[in-house]
């Protein structure tokens, strides 16, 4: 006797393609196959303490925070955060264990600072990107990036007579 599981969706994975109803045995086998899949994933999130600065001046400081995570199911090694903003301080990274290694479910935190330049003020914003890279147990690369932007509002301080 076959039991049927209603999914309400069309499923296609390898040899299985079913509409609306998936045989119980196939669903069980499909779940086992999915559970055994290697999921090497890296995620990075970047934030800044100021999304907008009024009356900005050169030298004002932006404080950045970064979180790089391994939501996958295998360890990641050679994990590196690279911030592409010229002039940003060196990233201070706090690892949960060995530097450059994230086990499944682990995250590392980092901070950095940046002093606004007159060019930033003239442009009206600072856009900053961080790239997280690493390798899965087979040496395959994983990568993610995050972008954050700060709007700069500059009011010239002059009087017309």
The angle at the Cα of 15, spanning 13 to 21, to the nearest 5 degrees, equals 70
For position 136, what pLDDT does the model report? 95
Q: What is the mean pLDDT of each run of 10 residues along the chain (161 residues)?
A: 44 47 58 68 92 88 95 95 95 96 96 95 93 95 94 69 62
For position 43, what pLDDT does the model report? 95
Cα–Cα distance list, 153 to 86, 94, 134 (Å): 21, 33, 37
For position 26, what pLDDT does the model report? 62
Strands 92-94 and 16-23: unpaired
For position 155, what pLDDT does the model report? 65
**Pick from 41, 34, 38: nearest CA to 135:** 41
The angle at the Cα of 13, spanning 10 to 19, to the nearest 5 degrees, equals 20
Say what percent of the chain tops pLDDT 70: 73
**Pick from 92, 122, 97, 125: nearest CA to 109:** 92
For position 2, what pLDDT does the model report? 43
């Amino acid at each position: 006797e076959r039991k049927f599981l209603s999914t309400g969706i069309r499923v296609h994975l390898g040899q299985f393609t079913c509409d609306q109803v998936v045989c119980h045995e196939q669903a069980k086998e499909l779940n086992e196959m999915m559970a055994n899949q290697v999921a090497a994933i890296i995620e990075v999130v970047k934030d800044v303490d100021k999304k907008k600065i009024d009356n900005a001046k050169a030298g004002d400081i932006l404080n950045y925070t970064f979180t790089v995570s391994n939501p996958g199911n295998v360890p990641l090694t050679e994990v590196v955060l690279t911030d592409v903003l010229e002039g940003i301080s060196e990233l201070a990274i706090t690892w949960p264990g060995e530097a450059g290694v994230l086990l499944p479910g682990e995250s590392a935190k980092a901070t950095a600072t940046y002093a606004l330049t007159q060019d930033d003020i003239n442009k009206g914003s600072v856009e900053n990107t961080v790239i997280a890279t690493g390798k899965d147990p087979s040496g395959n690369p994983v990568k993610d990036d995050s972008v954050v932007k700060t709007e700069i509002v500059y009011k010239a301080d002059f009087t017309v007579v």
